[in-house]
Every structure is written in structure tokens, then in C-alpha cells.
Structure 1
Amino acid sequence: MIYRAAAAILEQGLRLRASVGRPETLRERLTLMDVPRADIWIHGASVGELTSARPVIEALAQSHRVLVTANSLTGRDMAAGWGTAARLAPMDMPGVLRRFLAQAQPRLQVTVESEFWPLRSQALAGRGIPQAMIGARLSQRSAARWARLPGIIAPMLGRLAGLSAQDPDSEARLLALGLPPAAILPRLDLKLLTPARIRPPRPDPHRDRTLLAASTHEGEEALILDAWTAARRHHPDLRLILAIRHPQRGDQVSALLAQRGIAHQRRSAGDSGGDVLLADTLGEMDRWYASAGLCFVGGSLTDRGGHTPWEPAAHACAILHGPHLSNFRDAYGALDGAGAAQPVDAGSLVQQVIALAGHPDRARQMGWAARAVLDDRAGDPAALIAHLRELAGKPR
């Protein structure tokens, strides 16, 4: 009651602000602009959540009218670029939600990952609209916070007609907070669906002789260059693609290469060849993964928590990584156990690069093992999509 009253008061203030300044984004969040009708309303916080759910969104859009909402302009615009109706998400306020649902008239609401909005949940239930959550995840810290508010979280979870968790731990935490066991759907890691759709490149000797250092951070490029320089003594035709995490560091890394007397080309200058290519652009990582049979994944030799191994796995790259993997510990554990990835440190990096560059068959085996792990863990979303379609009923 306190939350609803505060939200209603805040809504009046925001409506006054929107009427004076007429900022379009605020008007859209307050549902003071038209909302298209849809069979299924899908909400994701921003780019990351919506990108991970794109295969599910596109599959549902083949049979039903879909409306996608996001909390960010970039997320909204990205979804609109897919040819899907997209809007900024309505604020969790009584009048806003009343106007939004009256116009959209969805038959199913789907949330990607884990956003809990009390008034949204209540408004949907009041209209008899089923609610579902896909790729749901809940950290131990977040679960502890929600446990202090059982009167809020339990009713929201109790209204869910279906929930597909991202991992077993999240599922267990949500059940403990009040999720009905009958609402449990097969677990699915949405972030793996898009990589699993990538077709790996065919075996290529040129690819066998290319080392990619992907998403490297400051302090890692020097170690990579040491390893590549040493490996070149054994394999003079070994090529290097240095794809730095932050392109704005391009001048700094180019200077490091020049200090070592290493001739190189820069992608930001339009180049794409040479023995050493400094990939200092955004949006081209798939191209670099497809060009290299051997990949070191950055953010792992320095303590950055590591970066995703699933993109190199999608392209059947043999994977090397450092010891700092807090962001993807489970994923790398599965890949290491399958012989698809090899842990290294600053000392052993050189030996592993030399060994794999000299044995392309072994590197290819590692790459295909990585792809097999990805395919196994990604799973098939068909059952989940069928269940969501069932909840939405026949399209209008």
C-alpha cells in the first residue's frame, strides 16, 4: 500500500514535468504515447538481456504479435531494428500500467532474466494475463535481500505461470522465496542460444596458423606479444590478431608494438591483413574468431574476471585462458574438463602457444570439443517456446 501510494504521487509529478518540457522518453515511459496491440509482451532490461533472448523472441514473433519493451533507449532501438514493435517499458505506477495494458492488451507477459515490479505483477494478475520469466537468475546476495521482504516477493513469484531458470542455484533460491514448483519450466541459459546458432568455419590451414588474443586488457598485451614472438621462432608463419577490449586504447597498444619493433596494421585504419593486426574497432569479434583457430581469451591473466568463452567455442576455436575467471568459472570448468580449453599463466602461455601452433590437429580437436560443450549446454529452446505459445493462446 505504501509503495502504491508513493508511486501514484510520483506519477502525478512526472506527468506535470512531461506536460511542461515534453521530453519524449519520459512521455513514453509514462504511456502518454500510443502503444501497439500485441499478443505477447516481452520485457528485457537492456541490450544484453534482449540479445540473449533474441532467438526466443523471433520464434514467438513467427506465430504471435510481439511487443518488446526495454528500460534503455539502446535496448528499445535494437529490438526495433529486428522488425519488432518496441517501446520503452512503462514505469511501475498505477495509471501508467493501466494505460499501457489497456492499449497493448497482451495475452502473455514474459520477463527476461530477473526484474520484479510489484505493481506490474499485480496489474497483470488483475487482468488475468499470465506471467512468465525466462533465463531467470538470482544471486545469493539478491536472494538474501528479497528474503527480508517476503510480503512483496512471494506474491510476485506466486503469480508466475512459468519460470525457466538460467542455472540450478537460481532455481533453488526462487523456490525458497515462494515460486510454486508447478511453475518450473526446463532450465535454459539464454546467453548460449545466439552463439549456438553460429556455423563454425571449415578447417583452414591459414586459420590454423592464426592466434587471436581476444578482449585483452592493459598488462596482457605485453605477455601475448612475448608468447607470439617466442612462438614465431618455431613457427615463422604464425599470425597474430590482437583484439583489444577497449578500442580507445588503440594508440597505446600500437605504441607498445612499435617499441618492440613489431610491424603491424590497424583495423581502425581500414587494414585487415599482415602478420600482426591490431583489431581496435567494435562489432567485429565474430570476424576475428572465424579467422583464428587458436584463441586466448583476455581479462584472465590480469584480474578482470575473464570474458565469455562461448563465442570462441561457437567458432570451434581452441581456447587458452588465464587463472582469473570469476565471471565464468563454471563455463571454463566445463571446457577445461572436456579438453576444449587449456589454463595458462604468464610462464606457460609461451609453451602452450608453441605446442598448439605446431599441432594443428590437436588444436582443431580442442575447438570441436569446445563447440560440443556449447551445443550440449545451450540445449533446445523448442519446448520452452511451445510452452510460452500455449500460455499466450491462439494469436488474434
Structure 2
Amino acid sequence: MRLVWRVLRGVESRADLAERLGGGAASAPGALWLHAASNGELASARPLIEALLRRAPGRRLLITTNTLTARALAQGWAELRIEARLAPLDARWMLTRFLARHRPAALIVVENELWPNRLVMAQARGVPVFAVGARISARSARRWRKIGLGRRMMRALTALSAQDPASEAEFRALGLPAKRCLPRLNLKTAVAAPAPAEVLEWPRAATVLAASTHAGEEVLILRAFARARAARPGLRLILAPRHPRRAAEVAGAIRAAGLAFAQRSAGEPPEAPVYLADTMGEMANWYASAGICIIGGTFAPKGGHTPFEPAAYGCALVHGPSVENHAEAFGALDAAGGAWAVAPEALGPRLIELDARQQATLARAASAALAALGSHDGPNALAREILEKI
């Protein structure tokens, strides 16, 4: 019913709904089906996508995503061998329809898009199934074991490349044989930072970015920012919620904090202390504009968003306690002095401390710590392993 309501409200078209129900135009049979949830996951998979296309010049790629913006991102690459669709929901009749319509040669899922029907039904039809950059928290693994889902899903996998050692250990404990483990790869370590289209004319060392925030985080961050700004009057804040549809809610929180703000989606000039960056596809602009980045999803129980992207732009990284989505990366950053792990109540004072010299020190340490985790040849090697198993 929610999907029908989105069509009635004009958020999605009838054609979009058809794709989510497993319909829409059929792609050429024999394509590699790659599924990524949204923009971040798809962008991180691009080096792997390019490696697959380069190593298999006769293959086509069918990319599915959960969001309209990610589908548009894939379409915007203008690669003739790529077709992009919205992903079918994880229901048996929709997947039956999708698999019959597209007849893919293999399924490649990115990060934690491990949906039981999708994996099991593909495997049952003889379609090899690969998980790349796969991650799972200890809590999710316990839930999978409790409901008896883990072993069934692990049997459906042809091979899995985990994002980090902890995730690989959890997948092994769920029943994934060692011989099905591919070399570990965090896809985000191989992504080149895109050039910003625009940089705010604010002093970078006095600009804080709260990147990809969730409900509950904005109030905390605004309170800390107001406290820091009382001591550093030139301090500015770019507030970029994870979901721009929450813009009205976030705007209300800014007003409640007693702070003046400008709104990106309204085309307002960034002349107030707070800039509400409530648009999609512009994070490169905000990373390049800010000397300090508060990483969203770390002050709410969301597991934390990627530290790789802000580090690539030389931001000083600040995060809260919820970091399990990128535990290895945050552990390396904290150990190397490349990020500050901050308790919620200490966020304001820490923003006061982070001057230009401290920011530069953190940024250098972050770059070195994250470089040690990654291998730029990883996507190419992973593409070779996948193609050999198809």
C-alpha cells in the first residue's frame, strides 16, 4: 500500500511501481545482475563495475537499486552496457517475475543487501550468487541464528567477500564454508573522491559539516554547535540530513535551537550560521567546504556512515559511539589519532578545541590510517574471481 500511495502522491510513476513489482522492460538475457541499495553503495561499487566491464567485454550489467536517486546515478554514467532498474521487492512472486523476465547470468549484491528470497531463489534457478564488501553486525548475526535464517542464506552463496575480519567471522559462524570466502574488500577504500561542483565561501577551518544525520542526532548536534559558537562566534554549520524528505522536521529543530538558517532546496544564499543542505547528490560540495565533519549515524543507533568519504576531502573526523557498520575503519582511525571519538555531552567543547592546526593533524593521520586498510587493486582482483566462477 505504501508503494501505491507514493504513486498517487506523484513521488513515483506507474512505471517505477512496475519495476518494484518485478515488471518493466526486460533487459538482455545473460547480464550480470548487480544490486546496491542506494547512492553510497552504488558509488562504492563503481570500481568493481568498471573492472567487470573491462574484464568481460561481451557482458552487460543490469543494476538494480532501492532508490530513484541511485537508479538515476547509474543511468547518468551513460554506459551503453549498463541498464538500470528499481529492485524488485523481496517477495517470491515478484522475484519469479523478475528472474523470468531478465534471466541474469549471476547475481552480485553489495554490502548488506542480503535478502533471503532474492538469494535463495536465484541460487535455486542456477544463478551464481556473490556478496561483495559484505558486512554484518554481531546483533544481526544473532538474530539470523535465532530465526534459523543464517545457514539457509549461506548455502545460497557461491562466494562472499567480507568488508572486514569481524564480518567474515560472523558469516563463517553462520555456516559459510571457508572455501567460499573471497579476499576481504571494503569497496569504499578504492573510490576516488569526486570533484565538488561548488564550495561555500566560508572559512573552511570554521565550518562544521554534520553529514548524513538521522532523527535524534540533529537536536544533539545543534545544541553542541550553539554552545561552541558562543565561544567561537565565527563557527558555521552545514547540516545535511541523510534523508532530505525530513527537511521540514530538521528545519523545525533548527528554529527550536534559536539559530538562523538558510535552506539549500529553497535556493537561499548561505548567509546564516546554519545551512540546511537538504538535497541529494551534493555531499562532495559539503565535504570540500568543511574543515570538521561530524559523521552521521554515530550519535544515533545506526552503526555509523562511512568515514572514507570525508577523510578523502581532508576533513577532521568526529564521531559518536555507534560505529559497528565500519568498525575496522573507525578502530584504525581512533588508534592512529585520525578521528575523535566523542561522547554526546562533550561534542560542544570538542568543536571549540578543533582549530585549523588540530584539523590538519587529524586529517593527515586519517589519510594514513585509511590508506593502510585499502588496496586499489582489490576491485580488479575481485572481478577476476567472480568471472572465473560464473
The TM tier, using the shorter chain, reads 0.7 to 0.9
Residue identity in the other structure for 2:122: R
TM-aligned CA deviation for residue 345 of structure 1:
4.4
| Paired residues of 2:19 and 2:85 also in contact (CA < 8 A) | no
The structure that has the greater radius of gyration is 1
Shift of 1:336: 1.8
Aligned-partner residue type, residue 115 of structure 2: E
Map of 1:237-248 to 2, 5 A cutoff? 238-245=234-241, 246-248=246-248
Alignment partners' CA distance in 2, 1:336 and 1:120: 40
Quote how far apart the aligned CAs of 1:274 are: 3.6
Task: State whether structure 2 residue 227 is matched by structure 1 residue 230.
Answer: no
Give the CA RMSD over aligned residues: 4.0
Whether the 8 Å contact between 1:306 and 1:324 is mirrored in structure 2 is yes
Name the CA shift for 1:139/1:313 in 2 (closer, same or farther; >3 Å): same
User: Does structure 1 retain, via aligned residues, the 8 Å contact 2:333–2:339?
Assistant: yes
CA distance in 2, matches of 1:248, 1:275: 17
The whole-number CA distance in structure 2 between the counterparts of 1:304 and 1:102 is 36
Partner of 1:119: 121
Q: Retained in 1: the 8 A contact 2:299–2:321?
A: yes
Q: TM-score, normalised by structure 2?
A: 0.72
How many percent identity over aligned positions? 37
Q: Is the 8 A contact 1:239 1:275 kept in 2?
A: no
Partner secondary structure for residue 289 of structure 1: helix
Evaluate the alpha carbon distance shift between residue 247 and residue 36 of structure 1 in structure 2; reply closer, same or farther with a 3 A threshold: same
Offset, 1:58: 3.6
Q: Is the 8 A contact 2:260 2:274 kept in 1?
A: no
What's the offset of the Cα at 1:333?
3.0
Distance 1:50 1:101 in 2: 21
> Equivalences for 1:3-22 in 2 at 5 Å?
none
Query: How many Å separate the matches in 2 of 1:367 and 1:163?
Result: 32
Q: CA deviation at 1:355?
A: 3.5
The verdict on how the C-alpha distance between 1:356 and 1:248 changes in structure 2, with shifts beyond 3 A counting, is: same
1:42 aligned partner: 34
Give per-residue Cα distances to partners, 1:173-230, cap 9 Å, x unaligned: 3333432322211111234544x5446999x994234333443511331221111220
Q: Which residue of 2 aligns with 1:9?
A: none
Between 1:294-303 and 1:165-174, the stretch displaced more is 294-303
Mapped to 1, the partners of 2:185 and 2:34 lie a distance apart of 17
| 2:184 counterpart of 1:187 | yes
Higher mean displacement: 297-306 or 311-320? 297-306
Contact 1:45 1:70 in 2 (8 A): yes
SS of the residue corresponding to residue 364 of structure 1 reads helix
Rounded Cα–Cα distance in structure 2 between residues aligned with 1:89 and 1:100: 9
Gaps of at least 5 residues in structure 1 are 1-22, 233-237
CA distance in 2 between counterparts of 1:89 and 1:256 reads 39
SS at match of 1:377: coil
The answer on whether the counterparts of 2:263 and 2:275 sit within 8 Å (CA) in structure 1 is yes
Judged with a 3 Å threshold, the aligned counterparts in structure 2 of structure 1 residues 102 and 199 are, in CA distance, closer, same or farther, namely: same
Any stretches of 5+ residues in structure 2 without a counterpart?
A: 1-13
Structure 1 distance, partners of 2:94, 2:254, is 55
- Give the TM-score normalised by structure 1: 0.71
Q: How does 1:238-277 map to 2 (within 5 A)?
A: 238-245=234-241, 246-249=246-249, 251-256=251-256, 259=258, 265-274=262-271, 276-277=273-274
Q: Within 5 A, what are the aligned runs for 1:90-109?
A: 93=92, 97=96, 104-109=102-107
Matching residue's letter, 2:64: T
Q: 1:209 to 1:266 in 2, by over 3 A?
A: same
Name the structure 1 match of 2:3.
none
Partner of 2:381: 383
Q: How does 1:69-218 map to 2 (within 5 A)?
A: 69-70=64-65, 76=71, 78-83=73-78, 84-89=82-87, 93=92, 97=96, 104-113=102-111, 114-117=114-117, 118-124=120-126, 129-144=127-142, 146-147=144-145, 154=151, 157-158=154-155, 160-194=157-191, 196-198=192-194, 206-214=203-211, 215=213, 216-218=217-219
Structure 2 Cα separation of the partners of residues 219 and 250 of structure 1: 12
Structure 1 counterpart of 2:178, one-letter code: P
Do structure 1's residue 279 and structure 2's residue 280 form an aligned pair?
no
